């Protein structure tokens, strides 16, 4: 499949997209040359007829070559699905009709038969029709079947989708359909979907994604973004051969990367499943169930903060301030007005002062918090003592110590604690794990494991 060894056969197949332009152009020109004298009722002379012969024969020859290349490509590449089926049928028809047209033209000339000459015209027209159809399905294969419809205005768009109206397309408004699917559709689906499965991977069906691709590495590990091959590929250097999307294509926007990682961290819920609120959130929500004010959201937009609702009809927000540097005044000014809505918060990389940490600790619906590399110490973390809603706390890269064990123990909802790059290591780490019964304490090694295994097997 996609991992075939380099060689002449593979090269032959992959020349298909290059070579197919010859028969397309030549055969269409042949048809124009053929019918022009009939339409204008003019005889353009012998030279013209010779040119027509040459163009037609070269067209038929290149059509046969392009079709053989196409068949080779289909057998060495990762193709399947309806688009390929029709592209192949019409592609082979182009080669077939063009060869038949040449033969009919030869016999028609020899026997000066009117019938043969008519049949010749018919096969030439059929050939041109097949070229357009093969081109249509071929384009859909290379760019994804949404390439044209998504750019077209409505009546044309539904016609291109084959009569499917937009209402059939997206009825659900769950987190997957509204936030994740559009990113995958835009950046990945053309190579990992119904029509093409590069690397044996397809994203259109949850079960197939979980089976993964040819590498055997887990594409998505629900709950663990950093162990997911999908995330590793997205973050590889753009020059890396394994980077996704490949060939130097642009990576999804930072905001979209955050959305994908958060989605996987939340257990990668699929279409129809909700990302939240967890029962815990729902409880606290009943006290504070008001959406954030538009002014507050505008301010986030202006400041370039990434945020989005946990799902369509939930006022809770996932807020990420880790992609840019913000000073403490700014953080407080932006977060204060949404203190009842922030449920997931990432302020990694920003140095936080006491006031800011206290403000964050007071948020009523806070369930996941990343304070990675915020220069927060034991004293400041003290603000979270007895916290009742935090399920996940990331303190990596901070000068914190085992002194905090009791504070952690007092956080009644805590399930996951990230503490790599802190002073809690070795024996301290073992003791902390002992003390925090029922809390997953992640210290780094287990998180890098996924990607590290990945590079070994390559």
- Residues whose CB falls within 8 Å of the CB of residue 51, separated by 6 or more in sequence, listed in order: 33
214 binds ligand HEC (CB under 6 A): yes
219 binds ligand HEC (CB under 6 A): yes
Interface with ligand HEC (CB under 6 A), residue from 244, 345, 400, 432: 244
450 binds ligand HEC (CB under 6 A): no
Span interacting with ligand HEC, options 174-182, 214-222, 322-330, 422-430, rule CB under 6 A: 214-222
User: Measured from the CB of residue 133, what is the shortest distance to ligand HEC in angstroms?
Assistant: 23
Cβ nearer to ligand HEC, comparing 56 with 188: 188
User: Would you state the torsion angle of the CA atoms of residues 46, 49, 54, 56, taken in this order, to the nearest 10 degrees?
Assistant: -170
The residue of the chain with the least Cβ separation from ligand HEC equals 213
233 binds ligand HEC (CB under 6 A): yes
Span interacting with ligand HEC, options 171-179, 194-202, 280-288, 406-414, rule CB under 6 A: 194-202
Summary count for the chain: helices (H), strands (E): 21, 7
Which position has the token pair 């250097």? 237
User: Measured from the CB of residue 86, what is the shortest distance to ligand HEC in angstroms?
Assistant: 20
76 binds ligand HEC (CB under 6 A): no
User: Measured from the CB of residue 324, what is the shortest distance to ligand HEC in angstroms?
Assistant: 23
Dist CA 202 CA 213 (whole Å): 8
Cβ nearer to ligand HEC, comparing 187 with 387: 187
Segment 1 to 30, residues that bind ligand HEC, using CB under 6 A: 2
User: Measured from the CB of residue 210, what is the shortest distance to ligand HEC in angstroms?
Assistant: 12
3-state secondary structure at position 392: strand
Q: Kindly write out the interface string for residues 249-288 of this chain, putting x where it contacts ligand HEC by CB under 6 A and - elsewhere.
A: ---x------------------------------------
Dist CA 179 CA 185 (whole Å): 11
Cβ nearer to ligand HEC, comparing 192 with 387: 192
Dist CA 367 CA 315 (whole Å): 14
Dist CA 68 CA 241 (whole Å): 28
Q: Kindly write out the interface string for residues 172-191 of this chain, putting x where it contacts ligand HEC by CB under 6 A and - elsewhere.
A: ---------------xx-xx
316 binds ligand HEC (CB under 6 A): no
3-state secondary structure at position 350: coil
- Residues whose CB falls within 8 Å of the CB of residue 319, separated by 6 or more in sequence, listed in order: 300, 305, 306, 307, 335, 338, 342, 344, 345, 346
User: Would you state the torsion angle of the CA atoms of residues 72, 74, 78, 79, taken in this order, to the nearest 10 degrees?
Assistant: 170
- Residues whose CB falls within 8 Å of the CB of residue 338, separated by 6 or more in sequence, listed in order: 292, 296, 297, 300, 317, 319
245 binds ligand HEC (CB under 6 A): yes
User: Measured from the CB of residue 306, what is the shortest distance to ligand HEC in angstroms?
Assistant: 18
Dist CA 372 CA 158 (whole Å): 47
User: Measured from the CB of residue 263, what is the shortest distance to ligand HEC in angstroms?
Assistant: 12
Cβ nearer to ligand HEC, comparing 141 with 357: 141
3-state secondary structure at position 91: helix
221 binds ligand HEC (CB under 6 A): no
74 binds ligand HEC (CB under 6 A): no
229 binds ligand HEC (CB under 6 A): yes
202 binds ligand HEC (CB under 6 A): no
Which position has the token pair 């332009």? 21
- Contact assessment for residue 397 and residue 372, using Cβ atoms and an 8 Å cutoff: yes
User: Measured from the CB of residue 241, what is the shortest distance to ligand HEC in angstroms?
Assistant: 7
3-state secondary structure at position 197: strand
Span interacting with ligand HEC, options 112-120, 150-158, 211-219, 384-392, rule CB under 6 A: 211-219
213 binds ligand HEC (CB under 6 A): yes
Span interacting with ligand HEC, options 90-98, 103-111, 163-171, 240-248, rule CB under 6 A: 240-248
Span interacting with ligand HEC, options 31-39, 245-253, 270-278, 396-404, rule CB under 6 A: 245-253
CB burial string 45-79: b at 16+ within 10 A, e below:
eeeeeeebbebbbbbbbbbbbbbbbbbbbbebbbb
CA atoms within 13 A on the CB side of 243: 14
Interface with ligand HEC (CB under 6 A), residue from 192, 224, 368, 373: 192
Tell me the C-alpha to C-alpha distance, in Å, between residue 37 and each of 44, 106, 303, 348. Answer: 7, 19, 67, 74
With 0-12 CB in 10 A as exposed, 13-18 as middle and 19+ as buried, what is 25?
middle
204 binds ligand HEC (CB under 6 A): no
Residues lying near ligand HEC in the complex (CB under 6 A) are found at: 2, 187-188, 190-192, 198-199, 201, 212-215, 217, 219, 229-230, 233-234, 242, 244-246, 252
């Amino acid at each position: 499949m996609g991992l075939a060894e380099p060689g002449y056969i593979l090269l032959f197949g992959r020349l298909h997209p290059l070579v197919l332009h010859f028969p397309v152009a030549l055969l269409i020109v042949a048809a124009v040359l053929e019918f022009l004298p009939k339409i204008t009722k003019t005889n353009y002379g012998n030279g013209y007829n010779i040119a027509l012969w040459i163009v037609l024969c070269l067209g038929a020859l290149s059509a046969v070559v392009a079709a053989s290349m196409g068949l080779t490509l289909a057998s060495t590449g990762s193709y399947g699905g309806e688009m390929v089926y029709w592209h192949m049928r019409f592609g082979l028809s182009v080669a077939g009709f063009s060869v038949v047209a040449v033969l009919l033209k030869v016999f028609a000339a020899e026997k000066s038969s009117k019938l043969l000459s008519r049949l010749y015209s018919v096969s030439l027209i059929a050939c041109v029709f097949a070229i357009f159809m093969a081109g249509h399905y071929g384009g859909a294969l290379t760019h994804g079947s949404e390439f044209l419809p998504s750019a077209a205005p409505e009546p044309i768009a539904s016609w291109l989708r084959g009569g499917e109206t937009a209402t059939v397309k997206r009825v659900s408004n769950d987190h997957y359909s509204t936030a994740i699917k559009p990113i995958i559709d835009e950046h990945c689906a053309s190579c990992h979907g119904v029509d093409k499965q590069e690397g044996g991977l397809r994203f259109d069906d949850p079960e197939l994604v979980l089976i993964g691709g040819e590498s055997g590495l887990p594409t998505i590990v629900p709950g663990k973004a950093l162990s997911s091959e999908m995330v590793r590929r997205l973050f590889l250097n753009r020059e890396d051969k394994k980077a996704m999307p490949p060939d130097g294509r642009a990576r999804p926007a930072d905001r979209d990367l955050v959305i994908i990682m958060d989605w996987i961290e939340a257990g990668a819920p699929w279409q129809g499943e909700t990302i939240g609120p967890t029962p815990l959130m729902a409880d606290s929500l009943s006290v504070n169930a008001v959406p954030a004010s538009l002014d507050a959201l505008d301010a986030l937009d202006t400041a370039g903060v990434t945020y989005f609702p946990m799902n369509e009809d939930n006022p809770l927000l996932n807020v990420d301030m880790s992609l840019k540097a913000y000073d403490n005044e700014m953080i407080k000014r932006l977060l204060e007005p949404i203190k009842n809505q922030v449920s997931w918060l990432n302020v990694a990389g920003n140095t936080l002062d006491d006031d800011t940490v206290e403000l964050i600790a007071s948020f009523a619906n806070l369930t996941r918090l990343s304070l990675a590399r915020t220069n927060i110490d034991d004293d400041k973390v003290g603000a979270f003592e007895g916290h009742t809603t935090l399920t996940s706390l990331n303190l990596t890269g901070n000068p914190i110590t085992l002194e905090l064990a009791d504070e952690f123990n007092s956080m009644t909802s805590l399930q996951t604690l990230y503490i790599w790059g802190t002073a809690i290591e070795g024996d301290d780490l073992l003791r902390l794990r002992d003390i925090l019964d029922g809390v997953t304490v992640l210290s780094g090694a287990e998180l890098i494991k996924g990607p590290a295994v990945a590079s070994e097997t390559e």
